């Protein structure tokens, strides 16, 4: 691997208010002998309180980008600064700890653990905190209340509607007080009304200062964000600021 410095001229840790930054990130897969560039020299910065929607057709590289941002995948080249550290070079165990400490995940299919109750699902990230976070249980209860599920703490995921499950997932994504919340098509499995409820919740979280990065292919969902990054063939095609006034009042 060539030195990263050479490929990324603007190297070095980003300023304080940038919670996550990728610089010159490429991801190359070798599929059946020939190489596929899923990401090609992508650089983005996410500031504290940012709300970014990543859009693009399938194969544009948005899933790969989210995996890299989620520390689930390492870039082939380039740097990824998260909480001031270059995580692109970290080993598997350290990456696990970074995920647990700085990131919150929201998935399209909720991804709750079936044999655990609502409150236990919210608690899962806490069991992987080293050192353990103080006041874990109370935090979970508070978050359950925040997402409106304080009356269903003992329920199993199968006993909840899709919207309720996604609320549990959101609470779970908040429990470790993450620097960045990564949402992968958070409304993909929900009907329109429920989608809007979930998006209202995400909006509120962002207003409260949370940094949210969201992958979606729905325009009306993407327009809830402050910025829309469009990907095409592994490159950033455009970055657009969303004008709030364009949205109908009340969402």
Residues that bind other proteins (CB under 8 A): 67, 70, 72-73, 92-93, 96-97, 99-101, 105, 107, 111-116, 124-125, 127-129, 172, 176
| Pairwise CA distance, residues 99 & 80, whole Å | 13
DSSP string, 94-131: HHHHHHHHHEEEE-TT----TTS-HHHHHHGGGGG-SS
Shortest reach from residue 143's CB to other proteins, in Å? 14
23: β partners: 79
Q: Which is nearer to other proteins, 170 or 228 (CB)?
A: 170
Closest approach of Cβ 242 to other proteins, in Å? 28
Q: How far is the CB of 250 from other proteins (least distance, A)?
A: 34
- Is the Cβ of residue 108 or residue 194 nearer to other proteins in the bound state? 108
Parallel, antiparallel, or unpaired: how do β-strands 34-47 and 18-31 relate? Answer: antiparallel
3 state SS for 123-188: HHHHHHCCCCCCCHHHHHHHHHHHCCCCCCCCCCHHHCCHHHHHHHHHHHHHCCCCCEEEEECCCC
Report, in Å, the least distance between residue 103 CB and other proteins: 8
Least Cβ distance, residue 1 to other proteins (angstroms)? 20
Across 193-203, b (16+ Cβ under 10 Å) vs e yields: ebbbbbbebbb
53 or 66: CB nearest other proteins: 66
Nearer to other proteins, 8 or 26 (CB): 26
Distance CA 84, CA 45 (A): 12
Strands 211-215 and 51-55: parallel
Least distance from C-beta 116 to other proteins, angstroms?
Answer: 8
CB-wise, 30 or 114, nearer to other proteins? 114
When the beta carbons of 73 and 203 are compared against other proteins, the nearer one is 73
- CA–CA dist 173, 228 (Å, integer): 22
């Amino acid at each position: 691997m060539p030195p990263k410095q050479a490929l990324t001229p603007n190297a070095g840790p980003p300023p304080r208010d940038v919670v996550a930054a990728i610089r010159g990130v490429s991801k190359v897969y070798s599929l059946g002998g020939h190489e596929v560039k899923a990401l090609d020299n992508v650089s983005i910065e996410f500031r504290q309180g940012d709300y970014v929607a990543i859009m693009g057709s399938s194969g544009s590289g948005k899933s790969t980008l989210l995996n890299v941002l989620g520390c689930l995948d390492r870039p082939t080249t380039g740097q990824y600064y998260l909480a001031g550290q270059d995580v692109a070079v970290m080993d598997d165990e350290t990456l696990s700890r970074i995920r647990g400490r700085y990131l919150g995940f929201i998935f399209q299919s909720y991804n709750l653990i079936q044999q655990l109750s609502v409150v236990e699902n919210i608690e899962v990230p806490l069991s992987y905190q080293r050192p353990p976070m103080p006041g874990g249980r109370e935090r979970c209860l508070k978050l359950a209340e925040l997402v409106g599920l304080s009356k269903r703490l003992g329920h199993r995921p199968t006993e909840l509607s899709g919207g309720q499950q996604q609320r549990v997932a959101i609470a779970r994504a908040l429990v470790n007080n993450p620097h960045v919340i990564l949402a992968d098509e958070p409304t993909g499995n929900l009907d329109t009304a429920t989608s809007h409820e979930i998006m209202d919740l995400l909006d509120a979280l962002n207003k409260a200062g949370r940094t949210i990065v969201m992958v979606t292919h729905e325009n009306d969902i993407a327009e809830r964000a402050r910025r829309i990054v469009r990907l095409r063939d592994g490159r950033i095609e455009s970055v657009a600021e969303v004008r709030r006034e364009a949205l109908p009042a009340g969402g």
